[in-house]
């Protein structure tokens, strides 16, 4: 549904995006993660047709991102999404449905169904008088008013409380299950790890890793084994009435077992710790070459 090839964006002498290539399949949630300034938002805006790439191509549902017709297949949610605050949620969504030429009866049914699912009760209250979480839900409903096949969400949970954040992420899962294709960015790598089918990690304008979380973990992460023994062995730390050694492969686990047996004890527990997406990102960022863009 989304194909990106060699996408690059330069502002003056500063390349905000060094070069991105990836694809997003139908019915998939694909996350782009990275710190501020990594190039996430610029990448999403190029795919959404809001920013022209300096080099490279992006297509959405088989249509070039620069073609206005593409936007009929797309729902876009920017990180900052000001609403018309004198409108109510209902009138605001009716307005955007009209812009997309959605027939009135179909629009009303779709809007009410979406607002029901988002549990938005105050549909006739001025948008200027509702909470940030409710405004975000209205903005999400706006992205769905034309029933698009592809959704691009830039930080959909930005600034929301934990309860509303979890609600939004669950709603994104439901969109995927309904056959929508979802591409979104986020700072919070835990959220991405919990909801995405595949992930691209961006740093300093370029994609430094991509794949499923298990694939990224296998390629870039290191699994740790915490081996608990009943007796002290070299390198062990005391934890209560046990001793623990942290090692990084099963050969080292077996070595600890042999040393414990030689000391008259045994291994009483082994606990595995796999690296999180955040652990891997921090390692990749620390190992990265100097910024290829020549700036922060």
Span 122-132, average pLDDT? 91
User: What is the spatial distance between Cα 221 and Cα 145, in angstroms, rounded to a whole number?
Assistant: 41
231 CB burial (10 A radius; 0-12, 13-18, 19+): middle
> 249: which DSSP letter?
S
Residue intervals of the chain classified under CATH 3.40.50.300 are: 2-218
User: What is the spatial distance between Cα 122 and Cα 128, in angstroms, rounded to a whole number?
Assistant: 12
Residue 292 has pLDDT above 80, yes or no: no
**CATH number for domain 2-218, candidates 1.10.3720.10, 2.40.50.1020, 3.70.10.10, 3.40.50.300:** 3.40.50.300
Among the listed residues 60, 59, 41, 56, the one whose alpha carbon sits nearest the alpha carbon of residue 6: 56
Among the listed residues 27, 66, 70, the one whose alpha carbon sits nearest the alpha carbon of residue 49: 66
- Which has the minimum average pLDDT: 89-103, 143-157, 207-221? 207-221
Among the listed residues 25, 37, 24, the one whose alpha carbon sits nearest the alpha carbon of residue 293: 37
Span 244-271, average pLDDT? 93
Residue-level pLDDT at 286:
67
Residue-level pLDDT at 296:
39
Q: Which residue has the higher pLDDT, 4 or 168?
A: 4
Element (H, E) at 293: none
128 near 96, Cβ under 8 Å? no
First to last CA, the chain: 32
pLDDT tens digits, 80-122: 888 999 999 999 999 999 999 999 999 999 999 999 988 888 8
Span 16-41, average pLDDT? 92
CA distance readout (Å), 187 to 44, 212, 277: 14, 18, 12
Q: For the sheet with 267-273, list strands across it.
A: 237-239, 242-247, 224-229, 267-273
């Amino acid at each position: 549904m989304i194909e990106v090839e060699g996408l690059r964006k330069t502002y003056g002498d500063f390349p905000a995006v060094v070069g991105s290539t990836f694809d997003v399949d139908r019915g998939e949630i694909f996350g782009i993660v990275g710190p501020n300034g990594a190039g996430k938002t610029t990448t999403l805006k190029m795919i959404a047709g809001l920013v022209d790439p300096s080099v490279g191509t992006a297509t959405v549902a088989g249509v070039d991102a620069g073609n206005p017709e593409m936007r009929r297949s797309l729902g876009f949610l920017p990180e900052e999404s000001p609403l018309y605050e004198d409108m109510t949620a209902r009138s605001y969504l009716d307005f955007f449905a009209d812009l997309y030429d959605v027939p009135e009866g179909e629009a009303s049914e779709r809007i009410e169904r979406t607002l029901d699912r988002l549990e938005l009760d105050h549909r006739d209250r001025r948008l200027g008088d509702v909470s940030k979480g409710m405004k975000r839900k209205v903005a999400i409903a706006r992205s769905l008013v034309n029933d698009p096949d592809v959704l691009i969400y830039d930080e959909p949970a930005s600034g929301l409380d934990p309860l509303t954040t979890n609600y939004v992420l669950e709603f994104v899962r439901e969109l995927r299950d309904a056959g929508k294709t979802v591409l979104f960015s986020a700072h919070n790598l835990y959220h991405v790890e919990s909801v995405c089918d595949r992930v691209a990690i961006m740093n300093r304008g370029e994609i430094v890793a991509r794949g499923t979380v298990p694939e990224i973990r296998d390629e870039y992460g290191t699994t740790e084994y915490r081996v608990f023994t009943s007796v002290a062995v070299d390198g062990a730390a005391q934890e209560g009435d046990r001793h623990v050694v942290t090692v990084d492969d099963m050969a080292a686990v077996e070595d600890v077992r042999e040393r414990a047996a030689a000391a008259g004890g045994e291994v009483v527990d082994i606990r595995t710790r796999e690296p999180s997406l955040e652990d891997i990102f921090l390692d990749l960022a620390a190992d990265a070459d100097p910024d290829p863009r020549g700036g922060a």
